[in-house]
Amino acid sequence: MESTMVKLMQLQWWNCWDLEKQYVVLDVAVSLAKVADVDKSLGDEKSASDGFQEAIDLLESLTLKSEASGLEQRRLSVLEFLRSQQADKQEQVEQT
């Protein structure tokens, strides 16, 4: 089954200049992060890590319009959260 990110990449929405589509991509990444956070809470570290990474990849590939500064701030905030979750996972692996 193809991941959400792959499907979006095929549509090339992340480079689209349509601001509405950029919001959709950001919302998809946030949804992926929420699902990954639930997976983590349920102890499914592999699915959580995969979900966090998929959301990171999606947000890193998102090209925003210059006038979308509020959207860029939200993108960076979500990326910071996702990276912290991945860093927490790395620390847990290193401690074991």
DSSP 10-70: HHTGGG---HHHHHHHHHHHHHHHHHHHHHHHTT-HHHHHHHHHHHHHHHHHPPPPTT-HH
5 vs 22, which has greater pLDDT?
Answer: 22
* Contact between residue 36 and residue 48 where contact means Cβ atoms under 8 Å apart: yes
**Distance separating alpha carbons of residues 33 and 79, to the nearest angstrom:** 10
List, for residues 8-67, the tens digit of each pLDDT value.
Answer: 555 554 455 577 788 888 999 999 999 999 999 999 999 999 999 999 999 998 877 777
Domains of the chain: 4-95 (1.20.58)
Confidence of residue 6 (pLDDT cuts 50, 70, 90): low
For the CA atoms of 44, 49, 52, 56, the dihedral, rounded to the nearest 10 degrees, stands at -170
Contact call for residues 45 and 56 (beta carbons, < 8 A) = no
